[in-house]
Amino acid sequence: GKRTGTAAAMANRTARHTTSSSSSGWTTVSISGSLCDSSGGIQTWTIQHAKTGQERSFLVHLPDSIISSSSSICDTGNSKTHDNVQEHDEHDTTGRTIYPIMLAFHGFGGHPQTEISKWKSTVEQQELILVAPKGSNSRHTANQPLGWNAIDCCGDPVASKTDDLDFSRGIVEAIRQNNDMAAVADASNVVAAGWSNGGFLVSLLALQTKEQRPKWLKGVIPTGGYQYDTDLYDGDRVDPLPIFAHHGRTDKVVRPGGCCRQHDNNGEPNCPIRIGSLRESCLSAVGAFSLWANNINGCHDGATVTEISPEGAICMAGSHCRNGAVTKLCMWPDAGHQWAQMPGEAMIGDFIADLFSSDISSSLSPTKGSGAVPADMHNESGLQTSDHRFSLIIIVTIILTFTALVGLHLLRQRSVFSRTRKSSISDVRTDEEEEIIELVSSREF
């Protein structure tokens, strides 16, 4: 995942106050903390919008694997300081290594520190710079939870129309413009992960138009949250982008069958904290993924059930997607709305490794390829078999070895899915689940 460039080494300062502007309209006003702390350094950055005066903050973490890989990272090197702002020596031509960035957005009521803890092992293994933004307070909600304006979720940021997409752009631009971070950060290669409300946000960021989506975004990992507006999934307005989505099948907060208004319940949505209150009909997690596979990433014949992972997830993937964009969704049968119930960090690490090591992201272009076959977003019966990670021989070996385990697993899922029939929407969701299970059980290898 690392890149080689020419940049000055990062100074190991424990606190710093700077004023530096960027083309995004955000200005860095303060940076505190040390990235090179032996106990795992974290910096707190504060940036301010030039027009509104609003201040927002985010955390930056540098894993030990990056610090130890280059003895110069935490030295002053050829850099020099003027008025507390480090500048980089343009005559320094020493080849140095720079690393991709991972943006990690917390859920509603979450905190960026939690994202640092959650992803610490992954960024250590994949050699990424971890950036965890802080959401805005919902002052009209008990405990004033932090959240994001992701249209369908959540809290005051939605009501006040907080521009969190612009904040995201400001974060990356602030890192790009900072001469210290230029020593290690590859701000042109960013993967964005989001949990719950954060999953809604990274999905929205990825679904921006060709002109609006930042060029630095190379892939997204939405978990427990996605966008419900089907108009966003228009392949004519959105370029292909790698995606690895995750969702829990027993999630009662962001339901896998979708969140939308219920006219038999005074127009209130079928999900808590008014998630999906703008929608008249529900879009399921599988349905949204099918739109990604068919309309945006142009996968041949849509998506397909490919495997039951060792962790127990039922995973689907696109086949021969446009520009090689990895397109994958894993549904976790026993998972509700809790991150710990979806132990997919290793799988996500593989996705990130493939994303940056193979340079798939750099091959993505606005030019659409041919061969995408439209499919109804609720029709998984025509899905074909494909998996980018496993050869046929490996799949056969796995199936032969774990036949008994898989059989018991599928029987258990049928029992779980049948118990979820409680409403007309639940019926739709259960039919989808049973359809997927049927595909897995009848699959020919």
4: which strand partners? 97
- Digitized pLDDT (tens) for each residue of the chain, 445 residues in all: 665 543 333 433 333 444 444 556 999 999 998 888 766 689 999 999 999 999 999 999 998 888 877 545 566 443 333 333 343 333 343 456 899 999 999 999 999 999 999 999 999 999 999 999 999 998 877 788 999 999 999 999 999 999 999 999 999 999 999 988 888 899 999 999 999 999 999 999 999 999 999 999 999 999 999 999 999 999 999 999 999 999 999 999 999 999 999 988 788 999 999 999 999 999 999 999 999 999 999 998 776 777 788 888 999 999 899 999 999 999 999 999 999 999 889 999 999 999 998 554 444 433 333 333 233 323 322 223 333 333 333 333 344 344 444 443 444 444 333 333 333 333 333 444 444 444 343 332 2
**CATH architecture designation of domain 3-389:** 3-Layer(aba) Sandwich (3.40)
Burial of residue 230, with CB atoms counted within 10 A of its CB: 0-12 exposed, 13-18 middle, 19 or more buried: middle
What is the distance between the alpha carbons of residues 29 and 358, in angstroms, rounded to a whole number?
37
pTM: 0.76
Distance CA 206, CA 360 (A): 16
CA distances from 64 to 95, 207, 395 (A): 20, 33, 36
* 179 CB-side CA count, 13 A: 20
